[in-house]
Amino acid sequence: MGTMQLVIFRLNEQEYGIDIFRVNEIVPYSKPTKIPNSPAYIEGVLNLRGHIIPIISLKEKFNMGNSGTDDRTRIIVTDINGNLTGFVVDDASEVLTTEKDNIEPISDMVSKISSKYINGIGKLSDGRMYILLDFDELYKEELQ
Spell out the per-residue pLDDT of the chain, length 144, in tens.
688 999 999 999 899 999 999 999 999 999 999 999 999 889 999 999 999 999 999 999 888 887 788 999 999 999 888 889 999 999 997 899 888 888 888 765 565 566 778 888 988 778 888 999 988 887 666 554
Closest CA to 84 of 40, 31, 142, 131: 142
Architecture of the domain made up of 3-143: Beta Barrel (2.40)
Where do the structural domains in the chain lie, given as residue ranges? 3-143
CA dist., res. 16 & res. 9, Å (int): 5
In the sheet that 51-57 helps form, which strands lie side by side, from edge to edge?
23-28, 74-80, 83-89, 51-57, 42-48
Whether the model clears a pTM of 0.85, i.e. scores above it, the answer is yes
